[in-house]
Amino acid sequence: MITGELKNKIDALWDVFAAGGLTNPLEVIEQITYLMFIRDLDDTDNKNAKECAMLGLPFKSIFSDQIKIGERTVDGQQLKWSTFRDFPANKMYETVQEWVFPFIKNLHSDKNSAYSKYMDDAIFKLPTPLVLSKVVDSLDDIYSLMGKSTEIDIRGDVYEYLLSKISTAGRNGQFRTPRHIIHMMVELMKPTPKETICDPACGTGGFLVGASDYLRETYRNDILMNKENRDHYMNHMFYGFDMDRTMLRIGAMNMMTHGVESPFIEYRDSLSDQNIDTDKYSLILANPPFKGTLDADSVSASLLKVAKTKKTELLFLALFIRMLKIGGRCACIVPDGVLFGSSKAHKQIRKAIIEDNRLEAVISMPSGVFKPYAGVSTGILIFTKTGHGGTDKVWFYDMKADGYSLDDKRSPVKENDIPDIIERFNHLDKELGRKRTEQSFLVDMKEIIDNDYDLSINKYKEVIYEKVEYPPTNEILADIEKLNKEIDKNLEELKALLKG
């Protein structure tokens, strides 16, 4: 969570926009995102230059000596944040409005790229040179504090704090999954350079960014040095869908600043017939919208065959099964009700995952994970699409702590089960002897089926109650009488004092 000086700096930046007449939260976030993207382009270009120099690879800066914008040509170095930030306010405003902004809008010549799709209608809205100058200075201060922070996920936290200022955040699901939860899920799934990864409710692209970061760190040389792997990583690995163009625009820029040139990020209602993807992806990472119901007429018929329902959380599970190729894996966050709901649709979707595919793990998370935006209890389902069953024993884990307090403040704490979850999931053979009284254990598929496909950990967890010895009733009564006599005596003494 954003706290202290960094929070104050972001609030002050927000006030600069308000004083300049920009009060629509979505517009403010868009403008901040554009400018952060422009600054990140400079940083990323410098970083890529260093990487190529270290590896002995050729490098061409996007800020080449001469850049053509429309019918005009400009020195590319003037488009760098580190250059124009030192210009006088009027010259800076002119440079950003007439050169930098058209440059980023046309950064990709491929008009079918995710970036181009959502930048075509982008508009530079800062009203005056003074406002731009103040915003640039404020962002430099914010980046300086971000650089000093010991928090690994500080960039994601800044985005979260910005999104929290949207009045609809939380109600429409437009708040991010905490980055440490994303990282845990990515670590559990261990993506490889050959994956085709999708998030059908991608928002700002948190899961896709998490997966791309993991791949760059784990398979750095395999991606940078192998032409085929690099092309797949840059252009064919990442897919994200959403129904909010602002989120898509932020998501596309977020992916580009994390080194993915052409992610396939598209405006799409994933649950409708508009989405025809079937047997396509090797990995799905998602936290789909929990709340809300849909008109059955707008839902893809293929999903209703798995579970006839209007509940989005159940329909998304049916969607994940359909979109995965055989052997494809899924790690998704679901509300607790999905795990134990007793309706026919709830049981149908759980049966499909357990009997028709291979359910591997159910991780129960505490209700505070999504605070302050929502207090709902959630879990993580991990399964593999087989089309013919394969579930044997299902691993259950009762997460009690995620490294942060479970109140609205979400302050860092020492208690953290995430390293233990990752370690145990990677060595499930060692879980065979675990008792039901422990934090994690295995449950046979037959037992789950016998319990109406209930996946709530409380259904299988054994709780040991310590026996408490109480005194005999006559001793308790004697103690009460003794206390009453003492009370009566003290009352008489008090009355005597008052009379005196």
236 φ, ψ (degrees, to nearest 5): -135, 5
Nearest to 207 by CA among 169, 258, 266, 162: 258
Domains 4-163 and 179-459 share a fold: no
Instruction: Please give the CATH superfamily to which domain 179-459 belongs.
Output: Vaccinia Virus protein VP39 (3.40.50.150)
- Given a cut of 70, is residue 307 above it in pLDDT? yes
Residues in the chain: 500
Q: Which residue blocks in 150-257 are alpha helix, DSSP H?
A: 154-163, 179-189, 206-218, 220-224, 227-235, 245-257
Q: Name the DSSP class of 406.
A: S
d(C-alpha 13, C-alpha 7), whole Å: 10
Nearest to 259 by CA among 226, 225, 224, 227: 224
Q: Please report, to the nearest 10 degrees, the dihedral formed by the alpha carbons of residues 343, 344, 349, 354 taken in order.
A: 100
Question: Which pair of structure tokens corresponds to residue 9?
Answer: 């700096």
Across all residues in the chain, what is the average pLDDT?
87
The reported pLDDT for the residue numbered 224 is: 79
**Model confidence band, residue 170 (pLDDT cutoffs 50, 70, 90):** very low
The reported pLDDT for the residue numbered 172 is: 43
- For β-strands 440-444 and 393-398, DSSP reports them as antiparallel
The reported pLDDT for the residue numbered 357 is: 97
The reported pLDDT for the residue numbered 80 is: 92
Residue 137: CB atoms within 10 A of its CB come to: 13
d(C-alpha 412, C-alpha 418), whole Å: 14
Query: What topology does CATH give the domain 4-163?
Result: Ferritin (1.20.1260)
The reported pLDDT for the residue numbered 108 is: 62
Tracing tokens 């044997």 back to the chain, one arrives at 392
What percent of the chain clears pLDDT 70, i.e. is strictly above it? 89
The reported pLDDT for the residue numbered 168 is: 42
**Model confidence band, residue 291 (pLDDT cutoffs 50, 70, 90):** low
**Model confidence band, residue 167 (pLDDT cutoffs 50, 70, 90):** very low
- Given a cut of 90, is residue 54 above it in pLDDT? no
The reported pLDDT for the residue numbered 295 is: 62
- For β-strands 378-384 and 358-365, DSSP reports them as antiparallel
Is residue 377 within 8 A of residue 365, CB to CB? The reply is yes
* Cα three-residue angle 394-399-402, rounded to 5 degrees: 140
The reported pLDDT for the residue numbered 244 is: 80
The reported pLDDT for the residue numbered 40 is: 83
- Given a cut of 90, is residue 344 above it in pLDDT? yes
Nearest to 265 by CA among 244, 291, 280: 244
* Cα three-residue angle 305-454-439, rounded to 5 degrees: 135
d(C-alpha 256, C-alpha 236), whole Å: 14
The reported pLDDT for the residue numbered 171 is: 40
Is residue 186 within 8 A of residue 211, CB to CB? The reply is yes
The reported pLDDT for the residue numbered 149 is: 64
Tracing tokens 């089926």 back to the chain, one arrives at 449
The reported pLDDT for the residue numbered 294 is: 62
- For β-strands 281-286 and 197-199, DSSP reports them as parallel
Nearest to 312 by CA among 331, 330, 338: 338
d(C-alpha 475, C-alpha 303), whole Å: 66
**Model confidence band, residue 250 (pLDDT cutoffs 50, 70, 90):** confident
Q: Which range among 137-141, 152-156, 289-293, 476-480 shows the weakest confidence by mean pLDDT?
A: 152-156
Is residue 239 within 8 A of residue 263, CB to CB? The reply is yes
**Model confidence band, residue 472 (pLDDT cutoffs 50, 70, 90):** confident
Give the model confidence (pLDDT) of 437-456 as tens digits: 999 999 999 999 999 999 99
SS3 annotation, 253-315 = HHHHHCCCCCCEEEECCCCCCCCCCCCCEEEEEECCCCCCECCHHHCCHHHHHHCCCCEHHHH
Is residue 326 within 8 A of residue 390, CB to CB? The reply is no
The reported pLDDT for the residue numbered 49 is: 85
Nearest to 438 by CA among 420, 452, 454: 420
Say which residues have a Cβ less than 8 Å from residue 245's Cβ, sequence separation at least 6: 118, 267
Give the model confidence (pLDDT) of 89-111 as tens digits: 999 999 999 998 888 877 765 55
Give the model confidence (pLDDT) of 371-383 as tens digits: 877 778 899 999 9
- Given a cut of 70, is residue 166 above it in pLDDT? no
**Model confidence band, residue 361 (pLDDT cutoffs 50, 70, 90):** very high
d(C-alpha 362, C-alpha 395), whole Å: 6
The reported pLDDT for the residue numbered 458 is: 94
Q: Which range among 232-236, 335-339, 351-355, 373-377 shows the weakest confidence by mean pLDDT?
A: 373-377
Specify the higher pLDDT residue, 78 or 109: 78
Is residue 383 within 8 A of residue 358, CB to CB? The reply is yes
Nearest to 194 by CA among 229, 239, 240, 238: 229
**Model confidence band, residue 497 (pLDDT cutoffs 50, 70, 90):** confident
How does 383-421 read in b/e, with b if 16+ C-beta sit within 10 Å? bbbeeeebbebbbbbbbebbbbbbeeebeeeeebbbeeb
Mean pLDDT computed over 182-192: 97
The residues spanned by each domain of the chain are 4-163, 179-459, 470-500
